[in-house]
Amino acid sequence: MSKYSLEAFVNETKENPHERDYFELEKPQLLEINLNNQSVWTKAGSMVGYIGNIQFERQGMLSGGLGNLLKKAISGEGSKLMKAEGTGKLYVADSGKKVRILYLNNEAVCVNGNDVLAHEQSIKSDITMLKSIAGVMSGGLFQVRLSGTGHIAITTHGDPLTLMVTPDNPVFTDPNATVAWSGNLSPELKTNVSFKSLLGRGSGEEFQMKFSGNGWVLIQPYEEVYTVEK
């Protein structure tokens, strides 16, 4: 059999039937969720296929719900989740970004809102906002604090890097390249430019997020810029 035959192609790329974990990495950019009469939250628009009997319910915002102000402020699909319920295999992805599965054991992690791909129903999600115009201009308008016990899946452009934060060594990051951080950290926003020049430009170079204390920050080799509605 030729290595380029259709049969060889199917055998190389087909789904692995032996994988039965709730959350599985089927490919580096493709998450498989094995539902057995369960519910899961996934990023709206992330479903690329499914097998079995699964129903989908579109949610207006993240599962915690938010007011009209944030709904008007955020454009695109990054703020919205979809509830999938039933029995079968669900496949989700986000623009070819790499997927990382994390299991929280009564722990918390903060994630850029656009980088949350999926989480179990047992996980609590709370939205926090950067109370600064710089946060809006950077596109890092909102973050999601995921806490409890269960699986979550986050996405990154390329291979991420974790930077350790200690009291002697705070970490400064570009908001557009910051994916996640440990739940005990509360970042500050640092900027040295005037309000006028900040509004005139939308790049993330003029300001940084500062992380102090003990914990970690996950960054990606890419500046992800989001559109904010006028």
Residue of 50, 53, 56 whose CA lies nearest to 15: 50
Q: How far is 89 from 109, CA to CA, in rounded Å?
A: 26
Q: Which range has highest mean pLDDT (44-58, 141-155, 178-192, 205-219)?
A: 44-58
Name, in order, each residue with C-beta under 8 angstroms of 63's C-beta and a sequence gap of 6 or more: 41, 81, 83, 125
Coil, strand or helix at 184: coil
How large a percentage of the chain has pLDDT more than 90? 51
pLDDT tens track for 82-140: 999 999 999 999 999 999 999 999 999 999 888 999 999 999 988 776 655 544 554 44
| Position with higher pLDDT, 129 vs 194 | 129
Q: Which range has highest mean pLDDT (12-16, 77-81, 99-103, 222-226)?
A: 99-103
Instruction: Indicate if the pLDDT at residue 197 is higher than 80.
Output: no
Q: How far is 120 from 149, CA to CA, in rounded Å?
A: 9
Global confidence as pTM:
0.80
Instruction: Give me the pLDDT at residue 83, please.
Output: 92
Plot region of 46 (φ>0 → left; ψ -120 to 50 → alpha; else → beta): alpha
Phi, psi torsion values for 189, nearest 5 degrees: -105, 125
Instruction: Give me the pLDDT at residue 209, please.
Output: 87
32 strand-pairing partners: 24, 91
Instruction: Indicate if the pLDDT at residue 196 is higher than 50.
Output: no
87 strand-pairing partners: 36, 53
The token pair at 53 is 């009997």
- Cβ atoms within 10 Å, residue 12: 8
Q: Which range has highest mean pLDDT (58-62, 78-82, 200-204, 224-228)?
A: 78-82
Instruction: Indicate if the pLDDT at residue 178 is higher than 80.
Output: yes
pLDDT tens track for 25-71: 999 999 999 999 999 999 989 999 999 999 998 875 544 444 433 44
| Position with higher pLDDT, 6 vs 94 | 94
Instruction: Indicate if the pLDDT at residue 78 is higher than 70.
Output: no
Q: Which residue has 């934060």 as its token pair?
A: 165
Q: Give the architecture (CATH level 2) of 6-219.
A: 4-Layer Sandwich (3.60)
Q: Which range has highest mean pLDDT (1-15, 91-105, 198-212)?
A: 91-105
How large a percentage of the chain has pLDDT more than 70? 75
- Helices within the chain (DSSP H only): 6-13, 68-73, 133-138, 195-200
Domain ranges of the chain: 6-219
Residue of 198, 152, 199, 158 whose CA lies nearest to 177: 158
Instruction: Give me the pLDDT at residue 60, please.
Output: 54
Instruction: Indicate if the pLDDT at residue 154 is higher than 80.
Output: yes
